[in-house]
Amino acid sequence: MQVGEKVLMKDPTTKIGECSKLKKRWKGPYMVVERSSDGLSYKLRHCETGKELRSHIHANRLKKFNDDRDAFFTKHNIVPKSILDNPPSPIKDDDTDTDWCPIKQILNRKTQNGTEMFLVRWDDRQGSTSWVPAEDVTDFAIQQYYKEKEVRKRKRRRRR
C-alpha cells in the first residue's frame, strides 16, 4: 500500500454485550499517511474526521478500500477531465454565490457550532478566501490540507 491510498482497518475486538456475528469488522475508510521503513506498519488518518490514529497498524489488519469512482464524482459534483476538454462558455450572472470556482488551497480549519469549516483560497483572479463547511469541500482537497499540515509539523520539529 502507498501513502495517500484509502484502506479499511480490521477490528477483531468484540465488546461485552455486542453480538460478534453481526459486528462490522472493517472500520474506515482511512488514508495511509505514513509507511514504516520495513513496509509492514502504517500510520492512518480517518477520512471523515481527519483524526490520525495514535499507533501504527500492521499490514495484516488492512485492506484496500474499494471506492466507487462514479459515486465519488456525483457526491462532490465533480466533472471528469475528459468532459472538461471542451468546456461550455461561462454564464455571466450577477449572483456569484452559485458560480463554481476551483479550490487553490485550504489554509485553516475550525469547528463552528458543531460544523467543521475550512478556510479556502479560491483559484480566481482575486485569490479570495472564505470559510466553507466541510461538506462543500472535496475529500481530495481535505487530504491535501492534512498532508501539508503534517509536512509543516515535521519541519517545525526539525528546527527545534
Q: What pLDDT digit, counting tens, does each position of 44-88 carry? A: 998 888 888 999 999 999 998 876 655 655 666 655 554 444 445
Whole-number pLDDT of residue 95 = 47
Alpha carbon separation from 135 to 51, 63, 131, 139 (Å, rounded): 17, 26, 12, 9
What is the pLDDT, as a whole number, of residue 134?
Answer: 87
**The CATH number of the domain covering residues in 6-67:** 2.30.30
61, 44 Cβ separation under 8 angstroms: no
One DSSP character per residue, 24-57 reads --EEEEEEEEEE-TTSSEEEEEETTT-PBPSS-E
Burial class (CB in 10 A: 0-12, 13-18, 19+), 44: buried
For CATH 2.30.30, list the domain ranges present in the chain: 6-67
- Continuous segment of H or E residues that includes residue 6: strand 6-10
For residue 148, the model assigns a pLDDT of: 86
Cell of 10: 480490521
**pLDDT tens digits, residue range 111-154?**
888 888 999 888 877 778 889 888 888 888 888 888 888 888 88
Residue-level pLDDT at 91: 46
Q: What is the pLDDT of residue 83?
A: 43
What pLDDT, in 10s, does the model give residues 22-43? 888 898 889 899 999 998 999 9
Look at residue 156 in the predicted model and tell me its pLDDT.
77
Q: Where in the chain is the domain with CATH 2.40.50.40?
A: 99-159
Mean pLDDT for 102-115 is 86
Tell me the pTM.
0.43
- 120, 87, 72, 123: which is closest to 102 by C-alpha? 123
- Whole-angstrom Cα distance, residue 114 to residue 106? 19
Question: What is the structure's pLDDT at 60?
Answer: 94
99-159: in CATH 2.40.50.40: yes
Count of Cβ atoms closer than 10 Å to residue 117 Cβ = 18
pLDDT tops 50 at residue 89: no
Enumerate residues 6+ apart whose C-beta is below 8 A from 17.
none
Identify which has the larger pLDDT, 73 or 17.
17
Under a CB-based contact definition with an 8 Å cutoff, are residues 117 and 109 in contact? Answer: yes
Neighbour tally for 118: CB within 10 Å: 20
